[in-house]
Amino acid sequence: MRTIRRWLRLFILFAVIGALSAAGIHAYEWISDKTATSTLQVEAASYDTTPIIVLDAGHGGYDTGSISYDGVYEKDITLAITQKTGELLQKAGYSVVYTRIDDEVSWSDDNKDDLRTRVAIAEEAAADYYISIHTNASTYGDGASGFEAYLNYENETIAAMASSIESNLMELQYTQSRGLKSTEDTSLYVIDSNSVPAMLLELGFITDSADAAYMSSEDGQNAIAQSIAQGIMEHL
């Protein structure tokens, strides 16, 4: 009888040891799985593929840009539309870098330094695309109107974006389209000296009363910003 009880105690002891060992193995596997999952999450987070778009509000600071007949500065129109465009892109989850966020500029009162700094901001940000926003001007007053875009057609995505933006702006019917133009014919520093795919938008003639009135209005700026943002997002 004693022998039976001794063997029974040994059996129970080995069963308990076995159960504890199995629990330890499962706990180790659970911890290992959690650690591996956490590592994968950290690695995934380190590879952020969100496109970075640089929005460049033309002129600013010492440089007013062109001036409408009722005294509106190009630099103020471009800043307002640029910020509205950026807000729409950011709400959609894209990363936006501005060359300026107000009338203060980070470069000297020198046109060459101005352009070099704008390009440097895009390159230092490792941006995917660069969009420069301007208005046009003419000595003909109301004799010249319309929007246009300048780009290097070698980048297919920029070309597609420009085409979509043109279509979106045409739907607003505030002015005519003057088309998409290659910098092979008209060289522009912010495009041709930029390693980041770029375009420059001339949203209308500030010297045309109808164009200027629309670009200066809150509703007009909101609609133009929506057209630009939508045209960009369609190809990201």
Residue spans per domain, the chain: 1-47, 52-233
* Per-residue model confidence as pLDDT tens digits over 32-43: 454 444 444 444
Who has greater pLDDT, 140 or 56? Answer: 56
Who has greater pLDDT, 2 or 168? Answer: 168
Q: How far apart are the first and last CA of the chain?
A: 82
Selected from 3.40.50.300, 1.20.59.20, 3.40.190.10, 3.40.630.40, the CATH number assigned to the domain covering 52-233 reads: 3.40.630.40
* Per-residue model confidence as pLDDT tens digits over 32-80: 454 444 444 444 444 578 999 999 999 999 999 999 999 999 999 999 9
| Look-up of token digits 């380190």 | 46
pLDDT at 143: 87
pLDDT at 106: 87
Give the angle subtended at the CA of 115 by the CAs of 108 and 180, to the nearest 5°. 150
Contact (Cβ atoms closer than 8 angstroms) between residue 204 and residue 175: yes
Q: Which residues pair with 64 in a beta bridge?
A: none
CA distances from 62 to 58, 74, 183 (A): 12, 12, 26
86 pLDDT more than 90: yes
Tell me the backbone φ, ψ of residue 181, rounded to 5 degrees: -125, 140
